[in-house]
Amino acid sequence: MANISGKDAVKVSQLLGYKLDHQEGSHMILYNDLPGRPILSIPNHKELAGGLLRAQIKRAGLSAC
């Protein structure tokens, strides 16, 4: 899985129905209005590690494949 920036991860999450709620320090907090969807916390870094991306994708109930 290619590394992407935190801002790019937020853009993709927004395409999937997540909305940027606020930022706490270097973390952007996103929510989804659909019931059962978890709140996501994505670091605002230039490059996110692959393990972090996989964990957020899994947490959102999606698949990276």
Residue 64 has pLDDT above 90, yes or no: no
The CB density around residue 45, as the number of other CB atoms within 10 Å, is: 15
For the chain, domain boundaries: 6-59
Residue 65 has pLDDT above 90, yes or no: no
Rounded CA-CA distance 52/34 in Å is 23
Q: What is the pLDDT of residue 46?
A: 94
Q: What is the pLDDT of residue 3?
A: 80
Q: For the chain, how long is the longest CA-to-CA vector? A: 31
* Residue 22 or residue 60, greater confidence: 22
pLDDT tens profile 27-50:
999 999 999 899 999 999 999 988
CATH number 3.30.920.30 given to 6-59: yes
Q: Which residues contact 4 (CB under 8 A, 6 or more apart)?
A: 12, 47, 48, 53
